[in-house]
Amino acid sequence: MKKLLVFAIGLYALLMVSGLVFAQASAGKLVARTCVSCHAGGRICEKLGTRPQEAWLQTVDRMRSNGATVSETDAATIAEYLSTAKPGVKPLCGK
C-alpha cells in the first residue's frame, strides 16, 4: 500500500510538471505568433530577464491600444511568459 501511495504521488507530481512545461511551450508559441507578427524576435529577446510581469503587461496593453488583437487573457499569459522566460529561449530567440 505504501508503494502505491508513493507511486501515485510521483505520478501526480510528474503530471503537474508536464502540465507546466506544456503551458510554457504554449505561451511561447502564443508570444511567437502574436508579438513576432509585428516585432523581430531579437527586439523582444534582448529584454527577457530584465522586466517584471507588470511592465510586460503595460507593454502588451500599449500594443493592444495600437491595434494588436490580443485578448485580456492572452495579454496576461504573454506578460507572465515574458517575465519568466530566460534569455535565448525558443521559439522567440531561435537558439
Question: Would you state the pLDDT for residue 78?
Answer: 92
C-beta separation of 80 from 20 below 8 A: no
Residue 20: pLDDT above 60? no
Domains of the chain: 2-84 (1.10.760.10)
- DSSP character at residue 85: P
Encode pLDDT of 37-60 as tens digits: 787 767 788 888 889 999 999 999
How far apart (Å, rounded) are the C-alpha atoms in residues 74 and 23?
A: 12
Q: From its phi and psi, is residue 49 left (phi > 0), alpha (psi between -120 and 50) or beta?
A: left
Q: Give CA–CA dist 58/71, Å, rounded.
A: 14
Confidence of residue 5 (pLDDT cuts 50, 70, 90): low
